[in-house]
Amino acid sequence: MKIKIQTRSAISAILLVLSAIAPVQAISDAAPAQSFAAKEAAARLAVDALSKKLSVEPDSIEVVHVAAMEWPDSSLGCPRPGMVYLQVITHGWLALLQTGKKAYRVHIGNRQAIVCEKPLKSTLPHGPNALAGKHIRDLMQTAKKDLAQRLGVAPTEVSISRIESVTWPDSALGCPVPEQEYIAAEVRGFRITLDHDGQSFRYHTDQKRAFACPSIERE
């Protein structure tokens, strides 16, 4: 079975999930197992789990998106009533799958995959510095519009290929300008990778702003 992780519909699927949940705690770049091979292995586990649960062929399941996660305990963010779990952070993955017209969420960690139907609001950790779904949508749209304007193209010609949760060490958001002072404090945000005509561009964000890093000169 060959797993192909789709990216075309990934952003819409992420927004569909995030728009219905409470603020989700950002995940540090330091989380392990970020390689494509690890992501593909997680996708395989997720597809196998959903295939068995629904009694359908694995080839009928589309992998929409796979993201690295840090689950708050050994329940992998999907606790069952009456069960006791180890209170230890568990590194893993969150997979969004689709078969037919229905989407499913699978939590992966400790070499196991759980098809989770519990609302994310009650299963994921959150905090005062977390980013809400609306913030993420606004930041992505801001980045797309800015890049489109700089390249002189329509926003629809710009696609989002990757979103990474980041904790920046200061207010420079990982892109300091010479001779400018910054506040040394952890800032939650994202690194957004945009694509146009075979080129990739990175945008750094906090909770309110998004800018190209490195900067893009207007034509």
Residues 50, 140 within the same domain:
no
Query: Are 62 and 6 a contacting pair, CB within 8 Å?
Result: yes
End residue of a domain, out of 69, 97, 122:
122
Predicted pLDDT of residue 128 = 37
Within a domain: residue 218?
A: no
> Can you tell me whether residue 95 is helix, strand or coil?
strand
For the stretch 73-131, pLDDT in tens is 888 888 888 888 888 888 888 888 888 878 889 999 988 999 988 655 433 333 333 34
Average pLDDT of the chain is 77
Q: Give 208 or 11, the one with higher predicted confidence.
A: 208
Predicted pLDDT of residue 181 = 92
End residue of a domain, out of 79, 94, 122:
122
Within a domain: residue 89?
A: yes
Mean per-residue pLDDT, 175-188: 90
Predicted pLDDT of residue 107 = 92
- Domain range enclosing 140: 133-212
Within a domain: residue 28?
A: yes
Within a domain: residue 127?
A: no
Q: Give 128 or 54, the one with higher predicted confidence.
A: 54
Within a domain: residue 5?
A: no
